[in-house]
């Protein structure tokens, strides 16, 4: 019951196919119960030489087979139609929740688990309603068979019940163990997928450091654990289907003995003998099916709860979203006594500054000083512990999501570009071709794009590895400009560029500040020089604020920074 409830709280989608599936499956199963009944009638009529009746029942049996098979076809057709919608719904839900993950997700939600769940787990769980319904039908079926038995012979029915309960007891123990090891197997499969996804990202480093053997040792550790879990899972499965099934086999042997004795004493007829054996087979088949469905449902519930964990994590992450939809933002940014810490140690201490529109505000400081954290807070990745951040004098957490992110854009040192064409990458932000070309012209990458054989339709490799560092940064800036954001956050965008590209970006920033608020993290002296205001961070505190020319004369920390760069 709990699994059904949890399943339908995840898969809200219910359509007529599922309802039809339940009805047709039920009718069809009842129909299949008639088959041994007609078969025994045929034998009875043949042995008592009522051949015309025997022919009639052969005909009826043929019709029953036909309807039974057609019913099965229809059952599968209905279920496949339900399944395809359910898969899409759960996949969409899972990915939508992944979009809400915070920066810390990998600590609790390993990448391998997300990748595996988005694929195999969703396929697994789509079968849950089918198996639950099948299981319920098998219960009904077995109940009917017991009633028929009890009517014919209470003692034999009772005997069969004891055999079935014995089988059920041991089979259930196997199923529980099977599910336990299945969960473990998935856990190690997640580890393997997680490492593999990192291998793909770090292929270049793996080759240059020649560390594939070391990585393989790590993978081998998980592979071994996977093997153990898989084997134990499989062992409990085949123990049930072989050793535990002996209970059913020997139950039948004993039943043969009993029935032959009854036959010898003429207490039953041959037709009843066959009917009893046939019903014994039907009950054991039903109880066997129940245990198979139980094993599948248990395994699939492992998948169901794995998906639920991912979705719950997405739901539980901090949603720093407000209700203000005012889109007329000028881009005035203010930090007022802001303090923040990730873990135990304070990262930012009492930070206050104002970044004005049409100005370049530079944030400088040694590595670890807290520069990126300022941008993270501004992007609402975390909530400040103390103080407030304002944009246009309104607390940033009060802005609605869409308004907020259409007014603030970031270009990172390692910006991400999708494995799509240049046009498709830009279209994710704004599909207007003219605006895309204007943005590329403004940042100065249009001519380069047009020189490519396929122009804007050139497919970029994942993370744009087929572009140079400078071209990639210019494309990222063009992408940011397409948002029409007032505020541009630029995090060390020139750190891997040559002097020519840096000079180009410098001139570009001077142009961009005419209609933007620019907040720039940099270690580059030329960019520091063009900043209208520099905030020097030292150990999470503001050391001083001023222009390059003043700071270089008066501030030791800033002087040291300039010596390093």
395-401 long-range Cβ contacts below 8 angstroms, 24+ apart:
395/322, 397/320, 397/321, 397/322, 398/322, 398/323, 398/324, 399/322, 399/324, 399/326, 400/321, 400/322, 400/323, 400/324, 400/325, 401/321
**Residue in 229, 288, 303, 372 binding ligand ADP, rule: CB under 6 A:** 372
Residue 380 interacting with ligand ADP (CB under 6 A): no
CB of 499 to ligand ADP, least distance (A): 23
For every residue of 241-291, DSSP letters joined together read IIIITHHHHHHHHHHHHHHHHHHHTTSS-HHHHHHHHHHHHHHHHHHHHHH
Residue 380 carries which DSSP code? Answer: T
Among all chains, which residue has been given the structure tokens 């299949």? 32
Nearer to ligand ADP, 81 or 341 (CB): 341
Residues contacting 4, CB < 8 A, separation 6+ = 128, 129, 132
Nearer to ligand ADP, 128 or 531 (CB): 531
**Residue in 343, 344, 500, 514 binding ligand ADP, rule: CB under 6 A:** 343
Nearer to ligand ADP, 306 or 371 (CB): 371
CB 520 within 8 A of CB 361: yes
Residue 369 interacting with ligand ADP (CB under 6 A): yes
263, exposed or middle or buried, with CB in 10 Å at 0-12, 13-18, 19+? middle
CB of 170 to ligand ADP, least distance (A): 50
**Residue in 370, 384, 524, 551 binding ligand ADP, rule: CB under 6 A:** 370
**Residue in 113, 233, 371, 380 binding ligand ADP, rule: CB under 6 A:** 371
Integer Cα distance of 352 and 365 in angstroms: 16
Nearer to ligand ADP, 9 or 344 (CB): 344
Residue 362 interacting with ligand ADP (CB under 6 A): no
**Half-sphere exposure (Cβ direction) of 3: Cα atoms closer than 13 Å:** 20
| Integer angstrom CA distances of residue 268 from 49, 261, 373 | 19, 9, 87
**Residue in 124, 283, 301, 373 binding ligand ADP, rule: CB under 6 A:** 373
> What is the pattern of x (binds ligand ADP, CB under 6 A) and - over residues 77-116?
--------------------------x-------------
**Residue in 238, 342, 416, 418 binding ligand ADP, rule: CB under 6 A:** 342
Task: Write out the two tokens for 63.
Answer: 């019709």
CB 177 within 8 A of CB 185: no
**Residue in 365, 380, 481, 528 binding ligand ADP, rule: CB under 6 A:** 365
CB of 374 to ligand ADP, least distance (A): 7
| Integer angstrom CA distances of residue 303 from 131, 239, 306 | 14, 23, 5
Residue 417 carries which DSSP code? Answer: -
Nearer to ligand ADP, 322 or 346 (CB): 346
Count the residues of the shown chain that bind ligand ADP, applying the rule CB under 6 A: 12
CB of 107 to ligand ADP, least distance (A): 9
Which one of 137-145, 218-226, 366-374, 442-450 is the stretch in contact with ligand ADP (CB under 6 A)? 366-374
Residues that bind ligand ADP in the complex, under the rule CB under 6 A: 103, 342-343, 347, 365, 367-373
């Amino acid at each position: 019951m709990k699994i059904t409830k949890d399943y339908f709280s995840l898969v809200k989608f219910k359509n007529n196919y599922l309802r039809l599936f339940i009805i047709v499956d039920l009718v069809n199963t009842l129909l299949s119960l008639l088959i041994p009944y007609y078969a025994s009638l045929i034998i009875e009529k043949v042995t008592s030489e009522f051949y015309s009746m025997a022919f009639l029942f052969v005909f009826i049996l043929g019709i029953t087979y036909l309807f039974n098979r057609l019913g099965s076809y229809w059952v599968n057709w209905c279920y496949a139609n339900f399944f395809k919608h359910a898969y899409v719904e759960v996949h969409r839900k899972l990915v939508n929740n992944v979009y809400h993950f915070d920066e810390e997700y990998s600590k609790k939600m390993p990448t391998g688990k997300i990748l595996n769940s988005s694929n195999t787990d969703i396929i697994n769980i789509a079968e849950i309603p089918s198996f639950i319904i099948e299981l319920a039908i098998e219960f009904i079926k077995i109940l009917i068979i017991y009633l028929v038995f009890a009517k014919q012979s209470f003692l034999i029915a009772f005997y069969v019940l004891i055999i079935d309960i014995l089988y059920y007891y041991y089979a259930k123990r196997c199923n529980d163990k099977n599910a336990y090891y299945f969960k473990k197997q998935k856990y190690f499969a997640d580890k393997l997928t997680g490492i593999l996804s990192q291998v793909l990202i770090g292929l270049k480093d793996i080759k240059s450091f020649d560390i594939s053997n070391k990585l393989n040792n790590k993978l081998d550790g998980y592979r071994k654990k996977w093997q153990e879990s898989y084997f134990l899972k499989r062992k409990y499965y085949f123990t049930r289907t072989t050793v535990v099934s002996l209970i059913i086999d020997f139950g039948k042997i004993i039943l043969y003995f009993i029935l032959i004795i009854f036959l010898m004493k003429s207490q039953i007829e041959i037709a009843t003998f066959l009917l009893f054996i046939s019903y014994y087979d039907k009950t054991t088949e039903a109880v066997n099916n129940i245990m198979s469905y139980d094993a599948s449902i248990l395994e699939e519930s492992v998948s169901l709860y794995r998906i639920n964990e991912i979705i719950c994590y997405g739901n539980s992450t901090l949603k720093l979203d407000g209700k203000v939809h005012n889109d007329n933002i000028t881009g005035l940014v203010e930090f007022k006594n802001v303090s923040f810490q990730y873990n135990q140690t304070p990262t930012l201490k009492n930070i206050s500054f104002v970044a004005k529109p049409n100005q370049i505000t530079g944030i400088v400081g040694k590595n670890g000083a807290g520069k990126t954290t300022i941008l993270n807070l501004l992007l609402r990745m975390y909530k400040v512990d103390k103080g407030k951040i304002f944009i246009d004098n309104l607390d940033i957490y009060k802005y609605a999501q869409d308004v907020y992110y259409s007014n603030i854009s970031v270009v990172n040192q390692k910006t991400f570009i999708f494995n799509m064409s240049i046009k498709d990458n830009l279209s994710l932000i704004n599909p207007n071709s003219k605006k895309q070309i204007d943005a590329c012209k403004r940042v100065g990458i249009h001519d380069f794009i047009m020189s490519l054989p396929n122009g804007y339709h050139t497919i970029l490799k994942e993370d744009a590895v087929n572009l140079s560092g400078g071209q990639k940064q210019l494309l990222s800036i063009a992408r940011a400009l397409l948002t029409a954001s007032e505020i541009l956050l630029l995090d060390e965008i020139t750190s891997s560029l040559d002097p020519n590209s840096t000079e180009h970006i410098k001139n570009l920033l001077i142009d961009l500040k005419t209609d933007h608020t620019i907040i720039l993290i940099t270690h580059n002296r030329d960019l520091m020089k063009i900043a209208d205001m520099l905030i020097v961070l030292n150990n999470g505190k503001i050391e001083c604020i001023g222009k390059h020319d003043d700071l270089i004369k008066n501030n030791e920390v800033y002087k040291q920074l300039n010596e390093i760069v």
